[in-house]
Amino acid sequence: MGQCCAEFDIWEANREAEVMTSHPCTREGYFTCQGNDCEWNGVCDKGGCGVNPYLMNNRNFYGKGSQFTVDTSKPFTVVTQFLTNDGTDHGHVVDIRRHYVQN
């Protein structure tokens, strides 16, 4: 028995790699799961669907050093936007955009 809910990892990162991952569930809200529903292939996507530039063949986007677009040896800012169908804070999310600001 366990507790399940959808999860969104807005930014998992270190100086070498980063990823943004959604973990949707087939049920809404926070709920108790039992047996197979709690397993890896249960009602929630345990592995998630991640966006990782390196795994998407952009090998020089994020990392330590001047050869990377985002040089993690220097300060930078990460901005994540959640765009909704009606442009309000209460609409349904239809797009997620990520911006990296450096220099």
Catalytic residue among 12, 18, 28, 39: 12
Identify which of 65, 77, 78 has the alpha carbon closest to the alpha carbon of residue 15: 65
39 in catalytic set: no
- Strand pairing report for 49-51 and 18-23: antiparallel
Cα–Cα distance for residue pair 91/83, rounded to 1 Å: 9
Catalytic residue among 7, 16, 28, 39: 7
Give me the active site residues, please: 7, 12
